Amino acid sequence: MKALIIDDERLARNELRRLLAAYADLQVVGEAANTKQAREQLAALRPDLLFLDVQMPGETGMQFLESLEPPAPDVIFTTAYDEFAVKAFELNALDYLLKPVDPQRLAAAIERLRARRAGPASAATNVETGKGAARERLAAEDKVFVREGERCWFVEVKSIRLLESEGNYTRVHFDNAQPQLFRSLNAMEDRLDPKYFFRANRRQIINLAWIEQIEPWFSGGLLVHLKGGAKVELSRRQAQEFREKMSL
């Protein structure tokens, strides 16, 4: 895969090139300091992937991407500003990485690129069953793009307090929002770090940091009260696993 780095900061280009040297299947074929240079490089090099900064003198990365005639290369935005993330995903960006670029987040983005280029069947298998190429678990400080219909959010993982299964869908609770995503709860669980999230029962996953109170419940179970008012029942078996997980 051929990659083109588009960023007006030379040090940022150098650092990204250094990080990308670890990927044998990805070759950085060029760099551009502005969108004028980028258009020339696109025509000459025909890259498969763009690492694109948002804020640049003159034309922004967003404006540049919107102006490209299809089929455009895959795009991973790299920027110091998180407020443009929703717009980036509306433009079908593959990922949105904040500077300084975290190597683990970069690895996850490259894995997502590989899955996309492998084809829809491979990507679907990876997301819904957890099989195929391994996917990076999300850290508490990571931000994820959430979309339901015309509404979009850019959410810190640690702000998600509860996930609930609704058939093949999952209801995600954060802040005052409860969007429904077309992902199974099992697929969501595969992406979440078990240090922070716990499978309370067949239908629900809770964020341990959001627990406010715990009380004994029927048949040796537990009733967990989350900040925000939600109550979640743990069966006897899950309650035992919870005690073992949380005890010293």
pLDDT digits (tens, 9 = 90+) for 80-133: 887 777 777 777 788 889 889 989 889 988 988 887 777 544 433 343 334 433
Specify the pairing of strand 197-199 against strand 27-32: unpaired
Q: Which CATH number does 2-129 carry?
A: 3.40.50.2300
Give 184 or 197, the one with higher predicted confidence: 197
Min mean pLDDT across 114-118, 169-173, 223-227 is at 114-118
CB 28 within 8 A of CB 17: yes
Separation between Cα atoms, residue 113 and residue 12, nearest integer Å: 21
pLDDT reported for residue 139: 85
Min mean pLDDT across 96-110, 131-145, 166-180 is at 131-145
- Sheet with 211-216: strands ordered across: 211-216, 222-226, 231-234
pLDDT reported for residue 3: 96
Separation between Cα atoms, residue 186 and residue 198, nearest integer Å: 12
pLDDT reported for residue 113: 85
pLDDT reported for residue 50: 95
Q: With pLDDT > 70 as the criterion, what percentage of the chain qualifies? A: 92
Class of domain 159-246 (CATH, top level) = mainly beta
pLDDT reported for residue 86: 74
pLDDT reported for residue 30: 95
Which tens digit of pLDDT belongs to each residue from 59-80? 889 899 888 876 788 999 998 8
Separation between Cα atoms, residue 213 and residue 37, nearest integer Å: 58
Average pLDDT over residues 165-193: 88
Residue 189, pLDDT above cutoff 60: yes
Residues 6 or more apart in contact with residue 159 via CB below 8 angstroms: 174, 175
pLDDT reported for residue 119: 56
pLDDT reported for residue 178: 93
> Is the pTM for the entire model greater than 0.95?
no
Nearest to 189 by CA among 210, 213, 172: 172
pLDDT reported for residue 220: 85
Name the residue ranges covered by the structural domains of the chain: 2-129, 159-246
Min mean pLDDT across 32-36, 116-120, 149-153 is at 116-120
Looking up tokens 């005890």 gives: 247
Mean pLDDT for the chain?
Answer: 86
pLDDT reported for residue 134: 45
pLDDT reported for residue 126: 41
| Cα end-to-end distance, the chain, whole Å | 48
